[in-house]
Structure 1
Amino acid sequence: MAYRQNTALAQYQSNDVAGAMGDASPHQLVQMLLAGALDRLAQAKGGVLRKDRPQKLHGVAKTVAIIEHLRLNLDHEAGGDIARNLENLYDYMVRRLLKANVDDDVAIIDEVAGLLRDVKSAWDAIPLNLRASPLS
């Protein structure tokens, strides 16, 4: 568990989502990663709309890195079907983002942002007494 929390923190910090959060729980780290992914998608969308290729590439790459990190740290033993479904959803999001990048497709970026918002809303709604169980 400590390894996952530390790697999540490192990913969070390496993606410039916010400052150090050494005391954050694993649940809070996932919340921050999801918020960071949404921020990066907004940057990618802005890059597409302004035809700013470096900004688009940076936003897509950072979002993909965050999603892949979340996917790789799913706890399938504790998470069961939820972890399996999240893995499939994360895989789908990455594939869609790669297509959005190639096609400069804002609609796909919006689709992935909607999916991430749904995941974040569900994650945020987890009752406090269940937040110690790492599903992601």
Structure 2
Amino acid sequence: MNQHAHETYLRMQVNTAAPWELTTLLFNGCIKFMKQGLEGINTRNVAMKNENIKKATDIINELSYTLNKQYEVAHRLASLYDYMLHRLFTANIKMDAESLQECIGLMTELKDTWVQSMKQLPAAAKVRS
């Protein structure tokens, strides 16, 4: 698929997604960018590492900003996001693949938990989320 067609597809996916699906897209994008950052570390491509870790950091910041802090789970997620941001910073500064692999694992687990939770919600609740 050429770049323009891919971008058009992604734009349509975002524009037509339910709110809970947007969160899933953010998780997937974050994981993708962290994996590309890891590839940058493994190939000693500093620009690739830096660009992709920054994109992952931006997504985690967005996920954190949108938390509804009136719920206890939001405070726990905020702490997890802060931890991941710290580990991403370490990975970026020190070319630390282990820190980045840890973040990939955490984000993958978080995404999988999110998807399973959304499967258990009635359709009406998903529309309101």
TM range (shorter): 0.7 to 0.9
Quick one: which of 21, 37, 59 aligns to 1:44? 37
Larger helix fraction of residues: 2
Residues 1:26 and 1:81: Cα distance change in structure 2 (over 3 Å): same
Aligned-residue offset at 1:47 = 0.3
Q: How much identity, in percent, do the aligned residues show?
A: 27
Tell me what 2:73 maps to: 82
Deviation at 1:114, TM superposition (A): 0.6
User: Aligned with 1:75: secondary structure?
Assistant: coil
Residue 64 in 1 paired to residue 51 in 2? Answer: no
| Matching residue's letter, 1:88 | S
Could you tell me which runs of 5 or more consecutive residues in structure 1 were left unpaired when the two chains were aligned: 1-15
1:128 positional shift: 3.1
Give the superposition deviation at 1:76. 1.5
* Higher relative contact order structure (alpha carbons within 8 Å, sequence separation ≥ 6): 2
Among 108, 131, 136, which residue is 2:126 paired with?
A: 131
Point out 4+ residue stretches in structure 1 off by more than 4 angstroms: none
Corresponding residue of 1:4: none
Question: Gaps (5+ residues) in structure 2?
Answer: 1-6
Q: How does 1:18-29 map to 2 (within 5 A)?
A: 19-20=10-11, 21-29=14-22
Are the structure 2 counterparts of residues 89 and 132 from structure 1 closer, same or farther at C-alpha, using a change threshold of 3 Å? farther
Farther-moved stretch of structure 1 (62-71 vs 18-27): 18-27
Q: Tell me what 1:13 maps to.
A: none
Output the CA distance in 2 between the equivalents of 1:19 and 1:94.
26
Max Rg structure: 2
Task: Give CA-to-partner distance per residue, 1:23-62, whole Å, 9 cap, x none.
Answer: 2111000000000000000100000010101100011000
Matched positions, count: 116
Q: Match of 1:101?
A: 92
CA RMSD of aligned residues (A): 1.4
Partner of 2:24: 31
